[in-house]
Structure 1
């Protein structure tokens, strides 16, 4: 959450509003931060949970049976408020969310630190790390092996076992812009991860190239109406 969002939440916490109202208010501040940050993929409730897992867990209802209904309603309201029409319906792994919340209740130790390396400021317990290790062991399908022979999932687990504070790595999420990963992957490996499954741009046709070439010698002062004064339709089939 950005500084303004934290400030608003802090002010609200000092008011006389009940806990459920604070949680709802905080949730919609979090949605705004997520929508502002999500530029590549369609926004989704699963994406929001990955955006800030610690925040997602702390704002979840106390009754696990209400997770899906409550969060789905919040997400629907949020996309309507922000006029977002193009979004995905991907759901979080609710069993994992519940397990993380249960572990947080056992190991929650607040820290005043707000440095990027400590992320949520919440330390993790041995039982939490055992849960992360077990989740890694139950991963299905072939692991991601880079061209150098490095296994991405194993490196994520290695970092997760050493990370003393809640971090996206505990949910098997890697952000190549996080400087922490430079200790576990080389620069070339991070670039390979970043470029994985990038969509290939279609080849530009000769007709389009010819039309674009007209603008190399285009003189706006001689064409005040903005039209290229050349005969023929270069975009016709």
Structure 2
């Protein structure tokens, strides 16, 4: 796309290195319409203006506007495109509409999977073949384009039976660690019907533990004191005018404080993922016959869990409590977070390919007062990644609910950390020499690819 824009500018530029905007949009009309992805027309127009301006600056040109606006003709065509779309597209307005080239690129990935590397279910159904069938009939971006299987996505009910979906969920699943007996006993001591936040706070403050040596017990104690303070005024939870940052630091701080022993770092504040950055720049190379592509930035995540430069998981936070049918949940929980976890997993597998079916990445999805744990792994073969989800855990709304609601949240947070630590150890397990790796293992390392990157992200 960048090449087409530059070619048009070269054709239209005058001696003063000025490119007239009306003539440019007229010349690129078909390209512009072909790239329309369903977003609001005004935003789409603004995106194109900024893109054209940046390309013009990079090539030493200047775009000149006039009273004549050729965009009006383009806008009419885009409105026709909007009206011809199905009514369901209004509910997926944030989704990206795939071009023919992008769809072809994804299908090429599926065609490259060798038969012996595919996932055959007990019924004889081949998972990769069903996923390819969804790609062939889809128009908008979906996790399947990143070769992600999410058995909880209701779309798969049209492609698999209930028994097959259960097999996909349960096959080769590594159980999460159980809390050590002493730590479980400590956590259970808080399983009471607290009548006030002050009562819980007093109890927790009376528990004394040795720093560092009893880190997990101290973390539980501090978490209990933190939640008790939310109910100290009138035993009610007040969230009026809370931002995402407020939610993280006042309701959910235990999610990152459990990493303060520094075995894994919990990096806060809209962090860019290295793994996603590598995925978006996978096709970036030295110049040959065209200018080098601009480097794309990795996805921003709310918490990034890493050791050194290796990323083992991330956390996404939304301000409002939403259902699985809301756009915010679909965009972050079904698309962004799984794609981020796949890119992280791909980076880990490339470092230690013999652990391809053992490594996993961990995601925490917080939406207002709800949290769920996501795990991404490669259960079979080397091309398809699978997402496993826990049920949603709800933050307690009163002191009475702390025993039933908050204790399970602390348990799943501890288990998420332990799962990451297991992957840290797996990554270090390089005892098998390269010469001892089987041919299949070597192939697996080359087959696993980063998540789908839109052609528009490559320009």
Q: Name which one, 1 or 2, has greater alpha-carbon Rg.
A: 2
Given the two structures, how large is their TM-score scaled by the length of structure 2? 0.24
Higher relative contact order (CA 8 A, sep 6+): 2
Given the two structures, how large is their TM-score scaled by the length of structure 1? 0.40
